[in-house]
């Protein structure tokens, strides 16, 4: 019986891990912008993760995640040779990749992993790529060489100034726009505040902007509506109508509030896991 | 008495129907254990003996899968239990499920002649008794493997329609692959119907039976995305396909505030609780947030299930329905169960806005009163808003259970599939064949019956039509 075996695992940055997982059917079909629903074990939650890379010949996909919640921490604890309970995909609409000219790709934090396949796809059809990658500090930046290789220009920035420009991705983008740089299209992927700030800026400059959203999902197939977002005053299901949307139309404030709905339960799971770990360590330390 | 149907008739038919024992409301409303307990042996035999053994039974045509009802009841009355099992399973691959969730009162039991003067035979409860007897007394049959050169057929969706079609196709001798998008098979039986109406051990056992008929069940495959219909037929060699993807798209009310946190579609709420076992959080990792006061909007079986789950998760529950109890589409029995357990019904109530606090979490529903006007297209009296009747219902959890429609994902992936305005597939009413030759459909993706047994009837009919189609091909 084939399974979703982890065939490679590597740390990309502090708390950020790349995992290559056997999923031949997904690997054959997945395109830039699509995601999978994944379950670590039989008790596990179903979580959406963007597919960062694929190898259809090997039958694998690469997922990248930051260990922030219970499930992503649990996933990070899995090793090469282990099996994941479930991988369903590819889900969502693939990104509409067109030749537009100069495309500025703005990514923050773990969003760098998700913009990578889009950078690749937009470069492949002949766009000139200008990449702006940002993170809290330099040890959270990754895929820099991979993205540099596809970009005409690469700009790095960190919140603490440890690498590149001391500031936010929006500071860099504003600087470029004010200097007179012009782009036909912008792709922005990252934390909600970053995407919101980017779209506010690009709206001022009339720069069409695509964002990729990751709201709470349960099934990922359009069945539950947990992922509903308001886009241009209309309710959309991000799992089947997205996850890409016109960033100028997304209600980010509502999205942020909906994402926080289960924060308390997440803390409870993390606390429980921490207690269990402390207990195990305590037990091991006993004579 | 044994072996003589006439004597069982004489001894039984005049007696009142044996009531199905249920756990007391105050006890059952606190856990997810099964509500209805099933007949004890004496009661089952006594009830079986009430059957008149009609020569031309009217109950059988009332059964969408055509179970030989008098025969299985006679076998039971004569304590030939294995025979009763055989008769049942000859037509119904899922008797333990049907005996629990079928709306018998509007099907076989509605047609029972005893019902004209007295009460109908409790056919559903007897079906359940026989299925449970089998589970307790007989081992599962050893797995069968189809002939390696048998033609391959695919079934998409593992709800009641898909399971039934897959089982029948395996019995016809095909190599059957059953694709399910979720991580566990069962469709609505798994994600929708709660444990207290259909224990998962029953579902798991009946799914295992279908697997042992030789059906290869593949989970985590979303046909239309993971693999297309076209690829299944032209690359993977499936010669016929049955689509049974159900009615998985939830309706919302499109009123202000519906995207506040704490507002769930019934699908989301029930999926979290049933499929993901959120009622066992944190052991199972998927949370469901249920506050002190839950408001459920709707009047169907899904609304009842939502109410009763919320109640079991410790919430006070108010059911808001725009008409009155008499017009509710839910099974009367389930409405009765819900109310007995403590659900408060607020009739003639139409929510117009959801009100939230600073954090974006719902705090109340603003509603209007309605009164019943003229009948509408469904024959039920239409609710008419009473102007100026606004009032608030406090609620920190809201479940919107106002119907669902077919999930458009698969139809959209295959332009040759013709779709009706309501999102259902165009099918030949006799065979279930879609607008693509060799591709059939049934259950809620094709018809709007909305019951487990209707989907099973469709699955059975389509399996037969597929068998005929493939015989014509070869």
Whether B248 sits inside 8 A of A71 (CB atoms) is: no
| Closest to A112 (Cα-Cα) out of A173, A197, A188, A215 | A188
Q: How far apart are CA B381 and CA B303, in angstroms?
A: 20
8 Å CB contact between A91 and A117: no
In B, which residues are within 8 Å of A226 by CB distance?
Answer: 264-265, 268
Mutate to test the interface with A, among B179, B190, B220 (most CBs of A within 10 A): B220
Q: How far apart are CA A236 and CA A225, in angstroms?
A: 9
Q: Note the pLDDT of residue B136.
A: 95
Whether B259 sits inside 8 A of A91 (CB atoms) is: no
Cβ-nearest to A265 among B227, B268, B281: B281
B214 in any annotated domain: yes
Rounded to the nearest angstrom, the gap between the alpha carbon of residue B32 and the centroid of all alpha carbons in its chain is 18
Work out the pLDDT band at A157, boundaries 50, 70, 90: very high
**B222 and chain A: CB distance < 8 Å anywhere?**
yes
Whether A89 sits inside 8 A of B265 (CB atoms) is: no
Residues B219 and B332 in one domain: no
Q: What is the pLDDT of residues B103-145, one digit of tens each?
A: 898 899 999 999 988 899 999 999 999 999 999 999 999 999 9
8 Å CB contact between B53 and B9: yes
Per-window interface: A 224-243 vs B, CB < 8 A: 224-226, 228-230, 235, 240
In B, which residues are within 8 Å of A213 by CB distance?
Answer: none
Residues B89 and B178 in one domain: no
- Token code pair at residue A43: 């008790």
Whether A89 sits inside 8 A of B222 (CB atoms) is: yes
**Cα-only R_g, chain A:** 19
* Span A119-130, average pLDDT: 97
B9 in any annotated domain: no
Work out the pLDDT band at A287, boundaries 50, 70, 90: very low
Domain's final residue, options B83, B104, B137: B137
Whether B225 sits inside 8 A of A29 (CB atoms) is: yes
Whether B252 sits inside 8 A of A46 (CB atoms) is: no
Give me the half-sphere count of Cα atoms (radius 13 Å) on the Cβ side of residue B376.
Answer: 10
Q: How far apart are CA B459 and CA B195, in angstroms?
A: 24
Number of residue pairs across A and B with CB atoms under 8 Å?
A: 118
Residues B108 and B125 in one domain: yes
- The nearest alpha carbon in chain A to B182 belongs to A219
**B378 and chain A: CB distance < 8 Å anywhere?**
no
8 Å CB contact between B221 and B179: yes
The answer to whether the complex's ipTM is over 0.90 is: yes
Q: How far apart are CA B222 and CA B23, in angstroms?
A: 39
Q: How far apart are CA B72 and CA B435, in angstroms?
A: 39
Angle value at C-alpha A155, between A153 and A161, nearest 5 degrees: 165
B88 in any annotated domain: yes
What 3-state DSSP class applies to A120?
helix
- The nearest alpha carbon in chain B to A37 belongs to B220
Phi, psi of B41 (to 5 degrees): -55, -50
**A174 and chain B: CB distance < 8 Å anywhere?**
no
Query: Hey, which residues does B351 pair with through a beta bridge?
Result: B367
| Closest to B323 (Cα-Cα) out of B376, B271, B365, B279 | B376
Residues B255 and B239 in one domain: no
In B, which residues are within 8 Å of A46 by CB distance?
Answer: 183, 276, 286
Q: How far apart are CA A116 and CA A143, in angstroms?
A: 8
DSSP assignment of B292-328 equals SEEEEE--SHHHHHHHHHHHHTT-EEEEE-SS-GGG-
In B, which residues are within 8 Å of A257 by CB distance?
Answer: 260-261, 359-360
**A223 and chain B: CB distance < 8 Å anywhere?**
yes
CB atoms < 10 A from the CB of B378, how many?
9
8 Å CB contact between B367 and B257: no
B259 in any annotated domain: yes
Residues B308 and B396 in one domain: yes
**B256 and chain A: CB distance < 8 Å anywhere?**
no
Angle between helices B123-137 and B69-77 (to 10 degrees): 60
DSSP assignment of B137-203 equals HSPPPPPP---TTSPEEEEE--SHHHHHHHHHHHHHT-EEEEE-SSSSS-THHHHTS-TTTS-HHHH
B228 in any annotated domain: yes
8 Å CB contact between A223 and B248: yes
In B, which residues are within 8 Å of A262 by CB distance?
Answer: 287, 289
Work out the pLDDT band at A285, boundaries 50, 70, 90: very low
- The nearest alpha carbon in chain A to B269 belongs to A224
Residues B271 and B397 in one domain: yes
**B286 and chain A: CB distance < 8 Å anywhere?**
yes
Whether B359 sits inside 8 A of A226 (CB atoms) is: no
| Closest to A212 (Cα-Cα) out of A234, A233, A227 | A227
Residues B254 and B393 in one domain: yes
Residues B264 and B198 in one domain: no
Residues B38 and B120 in one domain: yes
Angle value at C-alpha B27, between B24 and B32, nearest 5 degrees: 110
Q: How far apart are CA A131 and CA A104, in angstroms?
A: 6
Domain's final residue, options B344, B371, B404: B404
**B258 and chain A: CB distance < 8 Å anywhere?**
yes
**A273 and chain B: CB distance < 8 Å anywhere?**
no
Whole-Å CA distances, B34 to A3, B30, B100: 34, 11, 10
Whether A91 sits inside 8 A of B286 (CB atoms) is: no
Cβ-nearest to A224 among B183, B225, B265: B265
The answer on pLDDT for A2 being more than 80 is no
Cα distance between the two ends of chain A: 43
Q: How far is B423 from chain A (nearest CA, A)?
A: 14
| Closest to B257 (Cα-Cα) out of A235, A207, A98 | A235
The answer on pLDDT for A36 being more than 70 is yes
* Element housing B437 (H / E): none
Task: Burial-class residue B304 by CB neighbours within 10 Å (0-12, 13-18, 19+).
Answer: buried
**A192 and chain B: CB distance < 8 Å anywhere?**
no
Q: How far is B219 from chain A (nearest CA, A)?
A: 9
Q: Note the pLDDT of residue A284.
A: 52
Q: How far apart are CA B5 and CA B80, in angstroms?
A: 13
- Token code pair at residue B48: 């079986």
Q: Is the dihedral of CA B383, B389, B390, B394 positive or negative?
A: negative
Q: How far apart are CA A283 and CA B5, in angstroms?
A: 69
In B, which residues are within 8 Å of A230 by CB distance?
Answer: 259
Whether B276 sits inside 8 A of A45 (CB atoms) is: yes
Residues B232 and B280 in one domain: no
Cβ-nearest to A86 among B220, B264, B267: B220
8 Å CB contact between B18 and B39: yes
B327 in any annotated domain: yes
- The nearest alpha carbon in chain B to A26 belongs to B226
Cα distance between the two ends of chain B: 52
Cβ-nearest to A225 among B227, B265, B276: B265
| Closest to A159 (Cα-Cα) out of A148, A151, A170 | A170
**A268 and chain B: CB distance < 8 Å anywhere?**
yes
In B, which residues are within 8 Å of A218 by CB distance?
Answer: 268, 271-272, 276, 286
Query: Which residues, in sequence order, are CB contacts of A112 under 8 Å at separation 6+?
Result: A133, A135, A141, A142, A143, A147, A190
| Closest to B95 (Cα-Cα) out of B106, B110, B78, B108 | B108
In A, which residues are within 8 Å of B405 by CB distance?
Answer: none
Phi, psi of B444 (to 5 degrees): -65, -15
Domain's final residue, options B352, B386, B404: B404
DSSP state of B279: G
The residue among A202 and B8 whose pLDDT is bigger is A202
* Element housing A187 (H / E): strand A185-189
8 Å CB contact between B316 and B294: yes
What 3-state DSSP class applies to A252?
helix
Give me the residue label for tokens 């709800």: B159
Q: How far apart are CA B28 and CA B339, in angstroms?
A: 13
Give me the residue label for tokens 């189809």: B146
* Element housing B366 (H / E): strand B362-375
In A, which residues are within 8 Å of B267 by CB distance?
Answer: 223-225
Work out the pLDDT band at A246, boundaries 50, 70, 90: very high
Angle value at C-alpha A129, between A162 and A111, nearest 5 degrees: 50
Phi, psi of B26 (to 5 degrees): -65, -30
Give the residues of chain B that fall short of pLDDT 70: 1-11
Query: Hey, which residues does A106 pair with through a beta bridge?
Result: A132, A188
In B, which residues are within 8 Å of A85 by CB distance?
Answer: 183
- The nearest alpha carbon in chain A to B405 belongs to A223
Whether A221 sits inside 8 A of B222 (CB atoms) is: yes
Q: Note the pLDDT of residue A240.
A: 95
Q: Note the pLDDT of residue A274.
A: 86
B147 in any annotated domain: no
Residues B187 and B300 in one domain: no
Q: Is the dihedral of CA B367, B368, B369, B371 positive or negative?
A: negative
| Closest to B405 (Cα-Cα) out of B269, B296, B247 | B247
Angle between helices B160-172 and B200-212 (to 10 degrees): 30
Q: Is the dihedral of CA B430, B433, B438, B443 positive or negative?
A: negative
Residues B329 and B304 in one domain: yes
CATH number of A4-91: 2.40.30.10
**A216 and chain B: CB distance < 8 Å anywhere?**
no
Whether B286 sits inside 8 A of A254 (CB atoms) is: no
- The nearest alpha carbon in chain A to B410 belongs to A221
Mean model confidence pLDDT for chain A: 94
Mutate to test the interface with B, among A4, A219, A226, A250 (most CBs of B within 10 A): A219
CATH code where residue B47 lies: 1.10.1060.10
* Element housing A109 (H / E): none
Whether A223 sits inside 8 A of B249 (CB atoms) is: yes
Q: Note the pLDDT of residue B3.
A: 45
DSSP state of B261: B
In A, which residues are within 8 Å of B276 by CB distance?
Answer: 45-46, 218
Whether B267 sits inside 8 A of A29 (CB atoms) is: no
Cβ-nearest to B272 among A89, A218, A266: A218
Q: Whole domain around residue B64: which residue ranges?
A: 25-137
Whether B286 sits inside 8 A of A261 (CB atoms) is: no
Q: Note the pLDDT of residue A283.
A: 58
Which CATH architecture group holds A102-212?
A: 3-Layer(aba) Sandwich (3.40)
Q: Note the pLDDT of residue B225.
A: 96
């Amino acid at each position: 019986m084939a399974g979703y075996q982890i065939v490679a695992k590597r740390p990309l940055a502090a708390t950020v891990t790349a995992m290559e997982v056997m999923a031949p059917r997904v690997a054959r079909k997945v395109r830039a912008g699509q995601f999978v629903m994944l379950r670590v074990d039989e008790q596990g939650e179903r979580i959406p993760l963007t597919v960062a890379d694929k190898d259809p010949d090997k039958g694998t996909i690469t997922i990248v995640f930051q260990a922030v919640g219970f499930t992503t921490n649990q996933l990070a604890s899995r090793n090469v040779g282990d099996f994941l309970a479930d991988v369903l995909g590819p889900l969502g609409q693939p990104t509409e990749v067109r030749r537009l000219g100069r495309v500025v790709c703005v990514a923050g934090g773990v969003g760098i992993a998700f913009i990578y396949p889009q950078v690749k796809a937009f470069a492949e059809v002949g766009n000139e790529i200008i990449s702006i990658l940002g993170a809290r500090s330099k040890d959270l930046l990754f895929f820099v060489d991979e993205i540099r290789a596809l970009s005409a220009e690469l700009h790095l920035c960190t919140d603490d100034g440890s690498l590149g420009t001391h500031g936010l991705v929006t500071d860099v983008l504003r600087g470029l726009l004010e200097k007179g740089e012009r782009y036909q299209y912008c792709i922005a992927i990252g934390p909600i505040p970053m995407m919101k700030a980017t779209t506010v800026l690009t709206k001022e400059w009339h720069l069409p902007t695509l964002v990729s959203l990751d709201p709470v999902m349960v099934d990922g197939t359009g069945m539950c509506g947990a992922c509903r977002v308001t886009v241009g005053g209309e309710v959309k299901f991000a799992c089947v109508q997205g996850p890409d949307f016109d960033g100028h139309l997304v209600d980010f404030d509502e999205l942020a509030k909906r994402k926080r709905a289960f924060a308390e339960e997440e803390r409870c799971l993390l606390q429980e896991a921490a207690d269990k770990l402390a207990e195990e360590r305590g037990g091991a330390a006993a004579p | 008495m044994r072996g003589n149907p006439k004597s069982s008739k004489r001894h039984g038919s005049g007696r009142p129907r044996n009531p199905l024992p249920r756990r007391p409301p105050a006890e059952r409303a606190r856990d997810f254990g099964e509500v209805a307990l099933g007949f004890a042996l004496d009661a089952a035999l006594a009830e079986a003996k009430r059957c008149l053994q009609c020569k031309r039974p009217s109950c059988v045509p009332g059964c969408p899968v055509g179970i030989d009802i008098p025969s299985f009841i006679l076998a039971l009355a004569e304590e030939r239990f294995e025979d009763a099992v055989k008769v049942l399973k000859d037509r119904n691959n899922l008797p333990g499920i049907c005996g629990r969730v079928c709306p018998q009162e509007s099907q076989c039991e509605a047609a029972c002649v005893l019902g004209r003067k007295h009460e109908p035979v409790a056919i559903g409860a007897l079906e359940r008794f026989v299925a449970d007897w089998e589970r307790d007394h007989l081992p599962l049959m050893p797995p069968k493997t189809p002939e390696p050169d048998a033609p391959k057929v695919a079934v998409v969706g593992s709800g009641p329609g898909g399971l039934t079609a897959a089982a029948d196709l395996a019995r016809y001798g095909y190599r059957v692959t059953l694709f399910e998008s979720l991580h566990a098979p069962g469709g609505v039986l798994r994600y929708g119907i709660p444990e207290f109406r259909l224990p998962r051990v029953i579902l798991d056992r009946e799914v295992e039976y279908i697997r042992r008929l030789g059906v290869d069940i593949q989970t985590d495959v979303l046909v239309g995305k993971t693999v297309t219909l076209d690829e299944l037929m032209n690359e993977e060699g499936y010669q016929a396909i049955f689509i049974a993807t159900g009615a998985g798209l939830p309706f919302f009310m499109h009123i202000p505030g519906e995207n506040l946190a704490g507002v769930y579609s019934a699908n989301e709420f029930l999926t979290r609780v049933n499929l993901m076992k959120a009622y066992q959080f944190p052991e199972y990792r998927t949370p469901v947030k249920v506050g002190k006061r839950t408001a459920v909007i709707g009047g169907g079986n899904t609304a009842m299930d939502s109410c009763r789950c919320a109640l079991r998760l410790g919430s006070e529950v108010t059911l808001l329905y725009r008409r009155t109890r008499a017009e509710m589409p839910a099974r009367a029995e389930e409405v009765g169960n819900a109310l007995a357990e403590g659900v408060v019904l607020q009739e003639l109530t139409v929510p117009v806005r959801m009100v939230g606090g600073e954090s974006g979490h719902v705090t109340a529903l603003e509603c209007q009163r309605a009164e019943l006007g003229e009948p509408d297209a469904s024959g039920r009296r239409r609710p008419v808003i009473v102007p100026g009747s606004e009032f608030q219902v406090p609620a920190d959890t809201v479940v919107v259970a106002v119907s669902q429609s077919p999930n458009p994902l698969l139809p959209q992936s295959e332009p040759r599939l013709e779709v009706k305005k309501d999102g259902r597939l165009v099918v030949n009413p006799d065979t279930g064949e879609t607008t693509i030759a060799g591709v059939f459909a049934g259950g809620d993706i094709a018809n709007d019956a909305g019951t487990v047994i209707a989907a099973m009837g469709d699955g059975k009919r389509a399996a037969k039509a597929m068998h005929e189609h493939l015989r014509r091909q070869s």
